[in-house]
Structure 1
């Protein structure tokens, strides 16, 4: 199918963003009340003035569209309509204000595996003007202590497994006033604590209460989401009500734009489809503490009015069972999950014909993904995207015919967002040239929580975000990624700080020097490799090293060990140069101990 001309695309955009429509775009300066966001000061962004501005607006979509009694959330044997979820969120919101004295922008943390109360907690906390902190449920006690202390969390909502990790630090966290424990059959065995309350008791007391009014503004903090980066401690990414809503509106605009483009290519007139929202169902197969799960699945479901079927951990056969039973239409996850399903021995036993879109982001997919999805799923179109927690997930999207035409691209910027490629001197590069990927738009983060230096390093004075990725943009405006400048490893969509890994490895007394590097993996994208120069010729094994990494979560621990016979390569400043280490490994085809002997892998 021939590509559209620039004039045709301009005409589509003029219709899509026409004045007075929901997707009208306008240039505006975002004026934060606080004076600690200099990278936003005086910067103009394209915004959607007629779209949702706060999460309360977003959560109100089912009522405004007459879908309140539609199915919303399915988890095991529990089922909620939008109305039932709203009523429970209202009860919890009332308790936060009236029973616990939560005030505007107070932090309410949720740390749990996926379960309905998690979703209810996000709705309640953000609807009353608190700042929700969805925390990594894989963290251990030390990491949780840092996150809760750094965020200044006042109220925690958690499941039993996470509560057990919190017990040793409950009295140390002076800002923490109450812990609300989700329902659990084993909760009765928990030792009483002055800060501990049961979720069912908290909600039952306020059943029937209306949701208290939102006291936060559209440019106030709605979320703090922690993400690993180049420093040892995770950074809290501050996302405002408007930035979240803007990202969701961008995704909706992209979807409509794609359909308009397809109609023009086919020589037809575009007419909006009248599809019953109950037709749509999405599988929540990634954690809600991820932007993919929270934004692309949870938040977007309110706008579409679709059913969300929740998994609390990834299980390939269970996912296939749920797709068949619940007639799932949309599957969004990291590429490894799609590959897992297609490669499962029982794949063909299950009816996956309801799927209409399969794909996601979080890690680079193999270029064969398009053909694999098209050949394995009867009716599903492949899709791929690019985004970060810092951009509210949805920055670039590639689906339909354009993905088939450009299977190595993660797409074009969603409407109103801008992407560019700069050199190391912050000069824009032309199409086709590889450089640093930059993003600008109203969906970008406000700041890193209590880290002005990190914010200044990441954001330019005129509002551009340094993503830490390297890539190029082709002549059609499509982004192609080609590596990263940040010291992070992305394992199955999960960011892992190289600094944190190295800190763990250095706990072993036989390690003189070490460097954490990514090791390519066919389905996870990357695994954690550790290059070690032993102290005084010590004989080291991966098992011994991992045993010393007590403060690392299991997914952060190294799975590959490279023994270096001499001091690790250094640059002019004396810093270890990982780029050179990786080049030496690549040029000399050096294998890790585990690649030499796969049976030795943990």
Structure 2
């Protein structure tokens, strides 16, 4: 299996002159700090950190982790909304040679603890409360024997972030330098969990060099540049909030403006006050901004670049983004956790191309469409999308069988998505990964939702499909078979689901059946459920 990549193929001329260490995420941010120095790196709640200050604080976080006994190769969990401490925790842990495992802020206790156990996390940096949820309480009854320490963002209380940072005061700078110098470009920098058709989330392993190579090139392609103000509404626990978000912004000298939760009026205010120029997000983001502008007459003309995808993009929306919001350049694209970003449209592409395709392969990535026998298909013929290049994951955590199934002996990642390539090699998705649907920008995997629903004491079997929703694009609908002698209502099941899974996964409707349609092999026939929903 060819999982290796060739570092000599990629160069970073705008960073290399200041790089004094092997190319890793923290080393590249250090180089950016030497280039951009006093320029604003992060703005949050009216407070600005320069690139120099951000890097100094990242080193202080690394010293604190070293003082707490963090070793190279260990894992640190991060469970918090978008905030500057999230960035510091990541850089601090990675300076020490550790890897991070981001947790979805919508997770319930059982979901978060499962990820922490499987990732072998030894420390957890987390928020205390967010959107009315007490995160400490969610883990109160969860068994986490490998977790040595929990660090709470915000405040100076014992166990809090400030108290944690103070613990590294006696670590000499030379120790931080030694730790950073020992981090290998080929070392694993993070484990991002993504679900599959088996229902159990799988940990995607990615190296430092892969992230820098892929997203430095992506940022240049997206025309992200020094001086841009980058409003990050995509969650940091997601590739596009983390790697295509604050990492890309800092590499290019742009200012990160994190937004913990998207709210249209607040987003419009930030765009106006901070002169936001760069804004990625799903189509719903721009639809709500258009409504906000129409309602309140706000001047959002500072917006220069929009990057969208994750759902069908209507041509009329692209036209309105240009005409009413004044956005100069709009990109759409295609990516997945196992390969970060795969394809993007290009600057100057017409509206029809941006709305109707995902663009062509980004630098360093190959794409082809194949038939069931693996034969490469000609232009315009639909087949499974395969990708290869330095962005492809190193594998799934502790799961060589799943890795071998996903990546063939020639290094091609089998995405499971169906699409076509035209004569220009622009990609168009015609069918998504088997059964997956997207609710408000979040990937939902029916098998994972079904697994949790079947843990309800009254549920015997479950099948979940997507149905259209005007606001969120798609939402889940559950078909349930109850255990013998049991009775339940839809409201009861939905209320239980809200207590036991992230809100975006919760089915919005429930239909009870005496049996589910199955094929000869015993598999549920979702097509029949969709046809009779």
Fold shared per TM-score above 0.5: yes
Shift of 1:204: 2.9
State yes or no: 1:104 paired with 2:72. Answer: yes
Determine if contact 1:320/1:347 at 8 Å carries over to the other structure.
no
1:58/1:299 contact within 8 Å kept: no
Q: 1:40 — aligned with what?
A: 3
Matched, 1:236 2:203: yes
State the distance in 2 between where 1:39 and 1:335 align.
36
Match of 1:462 among 403, 407, 410: 410
Mapped partners of 1:281, 1:347: distance in 2: 24
Work out whether residues 382 and 403 of structure 1, in 8 Å CA contact, stay in contact via their aligned partners in 2. no
Q: Does 1:165 align with 2:165?
A: no
d(CA) in 2 for partners of 1:518, 1:160: 33
Contact 2:321 2:327 in 1 (8 A): no
Q: 1:489 aligns with which of 431, 437, 449?
A: 437
Change (3 A) 1:403 1:108: farther
Which of 407, 422, 425 does residue 477 from structure 1 map onto? 425
Distance in 2 of aligned mates of 1:563 and 1:453 = 36
1:78 aligned onto 2:27: no
The structural deviation recorded for 1:331 is: 0.6
Who is 1:176 aligned against? 147
Once residues 7 and 164 of structure 2 are traced to their aligned partners in structure 1, the CA distance between those partners, rounded to angstroms, is 42
Q: Output aligned runs, 1:193-208, within 5 Å.
A: 197-206=159-168
Structure 2 counterpart SS, 1:402: coil
**Partner of 1:90 in structure 2?**
59
Residue number in structure 1 paired with 2:33: 63
CA distance in structure 1 between the partners assigned to 2:148 and 2:484 by the alignment: 50
Specify which of 219, 241, 251 is matched with residue 293 of structure 1.
Answer: 241
Calculate the TM-score normalised by the size of structure 1: 0.80
Which of 92, 112, 115 is 1:147 aligned to? 115
1:282 and 2:230 equivalent? Answer: yes
Aligned equivalents of 1:569, 1:39: Cα separation in 2: 40
Q: Does 1:216 align with 2:187?
A: no
- The correspondence of residues 72-471 of structure 1 with structure 2, limited to 5 A, is 72-97=41-66, 99-161=67-129, 162-169=135-142, 172-184=143-155, 197-206=159-168, 210=173, 211-212=176-177, 213-214=179-180, 215-255=182-222, 277-278=226-227, 280-344=228-292, 347-392=295-340, 394-406=341-353, 407-471=355-419
Q: Aligned equivalents of 1:255 and 1:337: distance in 2?
A: 18
Deviation at 1:64, TM superposition (A): 4.1
CA RMSD of aligned residues (A): 2.5
Farther-moved stretch of structure 1 (215-224 vs 420-429): 420-429
Q: What SS is found at the alignment partner of 1:85?
A: helix
Deviates more, 1:347-356 or 1:297-306: 347-356
* Residue 17 (structure 1) aligns with: none
Instruction: Give structure 1 stretches of 5+ with no counterpart.
Output: 1-37, 189-195, 257-274, 591-602
TM (normalized to structure 2)? 0.90
Q: CA deviation at 1:129?
A: 1.0
Shift of 1:146: 0.7
Q: Deviations 1:77-116 (Å, cap 9, x if unpaired)?
A: 332111111111111101212x122121111111111111
Instruction: Report the CA distance shift for 1:495/1:82 in structure 2 as closer, same or farther (over 3 A).
Output: same
Q: Counterparts of 2:232 and 2:276 in 1: how far apart (Å)?
A: 10
Counterpart mapping for 1:505-524 below 5 A: 505-507=453-455, 511=459, 513-524=461-472
Q: Do the aligned residues in 1 keep the contact of 2:306 with 2:327 (CA within 8 Å)?
A: no
Partner of 2:345, secondary structure, is strand
- Cα shift readout 1:137-175 (whole Å, capped 9, x = no counterpart): 211111111111111111111111323322333xx3222
Q: Secondary structure at the match of 1:463?
A: coil
Match of 1:387, SS state, is strand
Deviation at 1:506, TM superposition (A): 3.0
- Relative distance call for 1:78 and 1:167 in structure 2 (3 A) is farther
Partner Cα separation in structure 2 for residue 311 and residue 226 of structure 1: 22
2:372 and 2:445 mapped to 1: Cα distance? Answer: 23
Quick one: distance in 2 between partners of 1:253 and 1:354? 20
Contact 2:293–2:299, Cα closer than 8 Å, also in 1? no
Measured after TM superposition, the shift of residue 349 of structure 1 is 2.4
Report the secondary structure of 1:401's partner residue. coil
The Cα shift of 1:396 comes to 1.1
Mapped contact 1:335–1:523 kept (Cα < 8 A): no
Contact 1:105-1:131 at 8 Å conserved across structures: yes
State how many pairs are aligned.
513
Structure 2 CA distance, aligned partners of 1:419 and 1:223?
A: 25
Cα distance between partner residues in 1 of 2:419 and 2:518: 26
- Mapped contact 1:180–1:199 kept (Cα < 8 A): yes
Relative to 1, partners in 2 of residues 1:141 and 1:572: Cα closer, same or farther, differing over 3 Å?
same
Q: Is contact 1:409–1:480 with CA below 8 Å preserved after alignment?
A: yes
Q: Secondary structure at the match of 2:314?
A: coil
Show CA shifts across 1:194-238 (max 9, x none): xx7221022134359534332221111001111222233211111
Which blocks of at least 5 consecutive residues in structure 2 are unaligned? 17-22, 130-134
SS at match of 1:197: coil
- Residue by residue, what CA displacement relative to the aligned partner does 1:384-413 show, whole Å, maximum 9, x if unpaired? 111111112x22111443142412101111
